[in-house]
Amino acid sequence: MKTYNAEIIGVGTELLLGQIANTNAQFISDQLAKTGINIYYHQAVGDNLKRVKDSFKQAATRSDFVFVTGGLGPTEDDLTREAFQALTGKHLVENKQIIEKISNYFDKTNRKMAANNRKQAQIFSDAVIIQNQVGTAPGMIVTYQQSLFIFMPGVPKEMKPMMLNFVLPYLKENFQLKNLIKSRMLKFIGISESQLETDVKVLIDKQENPTIAPLASDGEVALRITAKAENEIIADQLIEHAENEIKELVGPYFYGYDGTTINDTVLHLLAEKNLTIASAESLTGGLFADALVSIPGAGKTFMGSIVSYEESTKSSVLGVSEQTIKTEGTVSDACAYEMAKQASVKFDASIGISFTGVAGPDKAEGKDVGTVFISIYQGENRVLTKSFYFPGERDTIRNRTVKKGLELLYYWLIE
Amino acid sequence: MKTYNAEIIGVGTELLLGQIANTNAQFISDQLAKTGINIYYHQAVGDNLKRVKDSFKQAATRSDFVFVTGGLGPTEDDLTREAFQALTGKHLVENKQIIEKISNYFDKTNRKMAANNRKQAQIFSDAVIIQNQVGTAPGMIVTYQQSLFIFMPGVPKEMKPMMLNFVLPYLKENFQLKNLIKSRMLKFIGISESQLETDVKVLIDKQENPTIAPLASDGEVALRITAKAENEIIADQLIEHAENEIKELVGPYFYGYDGTTINDTVLHLLAEKNLTIASAESLTGGLFADALVSIPGAGKTFMGSIVSYEESTKSSVLGVSEQTIKTEGTVSDACAYEMAKQASVKFDASIGISFTGVAGPDKAEGKDVGTVFISIYQGENRVLTKSFYFPGERDTIRNRTVKKGLELLYYWLIE
């Protein structure tokens, strides 16, 4: 079975000036990955004839499919056609139907068609035309040496329908892309990226198909299993097998698949057990509440939160004893415990959770920036209070604190 | 005057699979554009030793500065060091201080340091080390042939401070970057993007140097003025002139420059006037509190928030009269007013602000998704209650609501 290598070239100085991110490359890559085409390179290059030509030349030496976005518009900066012509010597011809379409478009919007718009109707004589369902400039598919060049506009809302409705079906039909890639993400919490990788190293070392790749984001890690196969059934079997092997090693830290978040998972566990929750927040300042309220349907489970940010409000609004604040301080086990209890009591919730600590930039009550206390209260007989140290800046500390709270709740609820 | 050419290489298969967009390239480009360095190429390449090495080799032939992000982590997929070593034959040595920093990090967070973390302390013997203020893997600056290679981690929150706090000052000091581009952002609130653009069209049409570009984000708009000049004084004069022209047209909507946010601005206005604030939140679920708590030093001005998300807690915790809820509903003028008043009273704050509405996905109390009430209470003689309709999805509605609240507060405070 033949495999194909692809490369994506973004043309446009706006990419190199950092005015926009190259999200076209991401979109095309994501689509190609699903068809089993290997993407080996992305390039971005400015509106410069020589450099665009050089990029095309290099791509033709190493890639079966070269996806080019941008540089097809009407302005003088748009050089994709000229650069490809300079490289290949191919002929450009004006396409009547496209000229008509463009002038209709201007009529409809009551504007005069500027002369430079004719440029958009210039098509390579041996090209397959890709209709533009959204804008005026069409795309083109042209063969050069051993490579197929696919030219599309740089505007994402024009490029995406071309890719989905024309280019992918075209490639599937003409190149028999049978080699499908499927992936599944396993999400873990309560284990570090390096520990996770050490624990599953034996599997990563022997991997071939499927591959297993670790991914990390704030306080959470995931493993992505990616299988190549001739059909979905075989791909699923390969993934299933790898998943079972992984779970034998690190199963206790696994909490969900793909789009699942720890926020969803905790909310669903609470609902499943008919439990309600309320929070008392100091340094997190509403972020924990937001983590649950952002999920549709949180209303029956999440009761509310008291953000007692300013010190005195911890007693006046939340009801922590002034004695505790005086003797132990607000960044303490004792204060965290009382906050969690008060959240549960005030909101009449089964569980109260609290967050207090030092988010910085300065120390507070003699405690270092990054010192955090979290407490969970579910009646006097079931209480947990723990302290943590999170390095980093203010927002990092606050986000890690919320994530840690969700992690503690998760283990609390599955116990 | 010497000009420098730069190139940015993103290393990581996740880029080629389309799992993330290469926002690092955008950030670095944007920063370099300001210094007048020409960026001619972006590349992205997967975790493959030969292809990473080939990319480095090509970059060394054409670019003065080569920025490389990614591939410095602890896992076997992280191949940036190995690829550069294969190309250059340079020696890697383990850096004691970095080993110490990494193991301290693991000690402090009470975790075991996995053996593969030592890899992050491997430094080229002739490298300038870039400290990592957020994570564990340091960056490096290394010369190869005529090029300077700048290696940074792929995690944006680790890379960005390195770029801003170390790499840019280093380049400015060592390479006399004279061809300067300077820009200033003017931020506006209370005017739509299209209205702003229409109002300043006469300036945009005649622009050349400086250029004027509108930018929009959720509920706020900005104009970026960008000037090219041989020195700062001339650049500043050009910008100053354009700024004055803009302010003649849309001055009343201007609230601040560049990094300023409406959040900062409101917090500083409150502090300046010795006012304190507290909030009562329903659909925003802590997001308003977070908007202020995320600012260092919010403690003396922002007292706290009651997130009374579940209906009954609006009376039981916040103290809205049950009669109001029964006759008017929770999504009403009357409820918003009482919520704002209660926030002010409970937290003993000069101003109370409240948010109640329907974030969806379903209608509530017969009100459409997107219906929102905001109230500001500063004693019985100064009260404002307004209703809004925000189209969009749950999170869009919630974020627009908070932004609108800040906008109302801003005009409330400058009146």
Residues 6+ apart with CB under 8 A from A108: none
Rounded mean pLDDT, A393-408: 95
- 10 Å CB burial of residue A405 (0-12, 13-18, 19+) is buried
**Architecture (CATH level 2) of domain B180-257:** 2-Layer Sandwich (3.30)
Sign of the torsion angle spanned by Cα atoms A155, A156, A157, A162: positive
Q: Are strands B128-130 and B139-144 parallel, antiparallel or unpaired?
A: antiparallel
Lowest mean pLDDT among A198-212, A213-227, A300-314, B226-240: A213-227
How many angstroms separate the CA of residue A369 from the nearest CA in chain B? 12
Lowest mean pLDDT among B32-46, B261-275, B344-358: B32-46
How many angstroms separate the CA of residue A101 from the nearest CA in chain B? 27
- Cα gap B81→B120, rounded to integer Å: 10
- The confidence band for A19, taking pLDDT boundaries of 50, 70 and 90, is confident
> At residue B178, does pLDDT exceed 70?
no
For the stretch A23-64, pLDDT in tens is: 999 999 988 987 878 999 999 999 899 999 999 999 999 999
Chain B neighbors of A311, CB-CB under 8 A: 299
Neighbours of B361 (CB within 10 A): 10
Q: Is B216 on the interface with A (CB under 8 A)?
A: no
Rounded mean pLDDT, A175-182: 75
Nearest Cβ partner for B307 among A213, A299, A305: A305
Interface of B with A in 139-198 (CB under 8 A): 157
Rounded mean pLDDT, B46-62: 96
How many angstroms separate the CA of residue A359 from the nearest CA in chain B? 9
Q: Which of A55, A194, A218, A313 best probes binding to B when mutated, by most B CB atoms within 10 angstroms?
A: A194
Identify whether the C-beta of residue B409 lies closer than 8 Å to the C-beta of residue B301: no
How many angstroms separate the CA of residue A294 from the nearest CA in chain B? 7
Query: How many Å separate Cα A314 from the centre of its chain?
Result: 37
Closest residue in A to B29 (Cα–Cα): A18
Rounded mean pLDDT, B163-188: 85
For the stretch B378-407, pLDDT in tens is: 999 999 999 999 988 899 899 999 999 999
Q: Is A114 on the interface with B (CB under 8 A)?
A: no
- b/e code B51-75 from CB counts within 10 Å (16+ = b): bbbbbbebbbeebbbbbbbbbbbbb
Residue contact A17–B27, C-beta within 8 A: no
Q: Is A406 on the interface with B (CB under 8 A)?
A: no
Give chain B's mean pLDDT: 92
Residue B29 DSSP class: H
Sign of the torsion angle spanned by Cα atoms A344, A334, A385, A404: positive
pLDDT of residue B195: 83
Q: Is A51 on the interface with B (CB under 8 A)?
A: yes
Closest residue in A to B279 (Cα–Cα): A307
How many angstroms separate the CA of residue A207 from the nearest CA in chain B? 12
pLDDT of residue B217: 67
- The confidence band for A110, taking pLDDT boundaries of 50, 70 and 90, is low
pLDDT of residue A57: 97
Closest residue in B to A27 (Cα–Cα): B18
- The confidence band for B109, taking pLDDT boundaries of 50, 70 and 90, is confident
Lowest mean pLDDT among A285-294, A339-348, B102-111: B102-111
pLDDT of residue B76: 84
Q: Which residues pair with A140 in a beta bridge?
A: A129, A151
Q: Which of A5, A39, A310, A331 best probes binding to B when mutated, by most B CB atoms within 10 angstroms?
A: A310
Q: Is B51 on the interface with A (CB under 8 A)?
A: yes
* Better pLDDT: A154 or B75: A154
pLDDT above 90 covers a percentage of chain A that reads 72
Is the backbone peptide bond immediately before B210 cis, with ω within 30 degrees of 0? yes
Give chain A's mean pLDDT: 92
For the stretch A317-342, pLDDT in tens is: 999 999 999 999 999 999 999 999 99
Interface of B with A in 289-318 (CB under 8 A): 289-290, 292-294, 296, 298-300, 302-311, 313, 316-317
For the stretch B115-149, pLDDT in tens is: 888 889 999 999 999 999 888 889 999 999 999 99
Residue contact A347–B77, C-beta within 8 A: no
pLDDT of residue B369: 95
* Better pLDDT: A137 or B370: B370
Closest residue in B to A346 (Cα–Cα): B317
Identify whether the C-beta of residue A151 lies closer than 8 Å to the C-beta of residue A126: no
- The confidence band for A230, taking pLDDT boundaries of 50, 70 and 90, is confident
Give Cα separations from B102 to B96, B137, B285 (angstroms): 10, 8, 37
Residue contact A286–B303, C-beta within 8 A: no
For the stretch B240-280, pLDDT in tens is: 999 999 999 999 999 999 889 999 999 999 999 999 999 99
Nearest Cβ partner for A33 among B17, B23, B285: B17
How many angstroms separate the CA of residue B143 from the nearest CA in chain A? 23
CATH class for the domain made up of B5-175: alpha beta
Q: Is A67 on the interface with B (CB under 8 A)?
A: no
Q: In 3D, which of B380, B186, B358 has the Cα closest to residue B283?
A: B358
CATH class for the domain made up of B262-414: alpha beta
Task: For chain B, give every domain's residue range.
Answer: 5-175, 180-257, 262-414
Nearest Cβ partner for B293 among A41, A55, A285: A285
Chain B neighbors of A389, CB-CB under 8 A: 108-109
- Cα gap A11→A67, rounded to integer Å: 11
Q: Which residues pair with A217 in a beta bridge?
A: A220
Closest residue in B to A190 (Cα–Cα): B111
Nearest Cβ partner for A348 among B17, B306, B316: B316
Give Cα separations from A13 to A48, A71, A288, B205 (angstroms): 8, 10, 41, 21
> At residue B1, does pLDDT exceed 60?
no
Counting one residue from A and one from B, how many pairs have CB atoms under 8 Å apart? 276
> At residue A111, does pLDDT exceed 70?
no
Is the backbone peptide bond immediately before A169 cis, with ω within 30 degrees of 0? no
Q: Is B327 on the interface with A (CB under 8 A)?
A: no
Q: Is A283 on the interface with B (CB under 8 A)?
A: yes
Rounded mean pLDDT, A176-202: 86
Residue contact A286–B285, C-beta within 8 A: yes
Interface of A with B in 4-33 (CB under 8 A): 10, 15-23, 25-33
pLDDT of residue A14: 86
For the stretch A122-167, pLDDT in tens is: 999 999 999 988 778 899 999 999 999 999 999 898 899 999 999 9
- Three-state DSSP at B142 gives strand
Can you spell out the DSSP letters for B207-226?
--SSEEEEEEETTEEEEEEE
- Three-state DSSP at B85 gives helix
pLDDT of residue B63: 97
> At residue A211, does pLDDT exceed 90?
no
> At residue B179, does pLDDT exceed 70?
no
Residue contact A22–B26, C-beta within 8 A: yes
Q: Is B71 on the interface with A (CB under 8 A)?
A: no
pLDDT of residue B111: 76
Chain A neighbors of B283, CB-CB under 8 A: 293
pLDDT of residue B218: 64
What residue has token string 């309600």? A276
Residue contact B18–A33, C-beta within 8 A: yes
Neighbours of B300 (CB within 10 A): 12
- Cα gap B283→B187, rounded to integer Å: 27
- Cα gap B377→B47, rounded to integer Å: 57
pLDDT of residue A77: 80
Q: Are strands B180-188 and B254-257 parallel, antiparallel or unpaired?
A: antiparallel
